[in-house]
Structure 1
Amino acid sequence: MTRQTDYTNAAQQRLIRLVLLMFGDIVNGYTPGALARDIGCSATVMTRDLDNLRTAGIAEFDETDGRWRLTPRLPQQAVKVYAALGRAETRLAETKAAIHRNNDY
């Protein structure tokens, strides 16, 4: 019998949940208190998590309204995914067209 190792890390899982939550409003952002409440952690933990996201270039703090929002860094990755899907769709359509043009069956 093989033993399965659980590599789950609570802090890393919380950061992933935080990033996904912040995608909900990339324009206005969120107050740290609202994020802490929605994630279910203390304000101190949220401050640390948000600072780590800032260090990674993923989140930014707007001092004028006291809100945190995602930087363009992650949304730009979503644009790359859509571009790759578009290229794949084009290639698939070209392959299908080539198969239908070749009538040697």
Structure 2
Amino acid sequence: MSEKIVIYQKPACSKCRATISLLQESGQQFDSVNYYEAPLTVEELRKLIQKLNLPVRDVLRKDEPAACNLIEASDEEIIRAMVENPDLMQRPIVVRGDQAKLCRPPENVMELLK
């Protein structure tokens, strides 16, 4: 695979740091996006979720206090809430081409490095 690798991460997150370490060990070039400093738009997050091929609710960090307000929310409302409050989004997400992986556990990134 020669597509560009991008990791969407939060520097303080241990899973993000572990995934970055795996990417570095692989020797492959990648870009890192701290989505707290460079917030995602609704459209960008929607495209990420499509690449993940997961239900929107699987990308929601349900243990976050603000998530309890989203029990009855539509997918679109959840996406908007995650854009407004990035703590609600599962992380890290690694993208390569048209594929993306939620790297929890970090070893999930290996599927994109084959």
Tell me if TM exceeds 0.5. no
Which protein has the bigger helix share? Answer: 1
Relative contact order (C-alpha < 8 Å, sep 6+): which is higher? 2
TM-score after normalising by structure 1? 0.30
Q: Which has the higher strand share?
A: 2
Q: Which of 1 and 2 has greater Rg?
A: 1
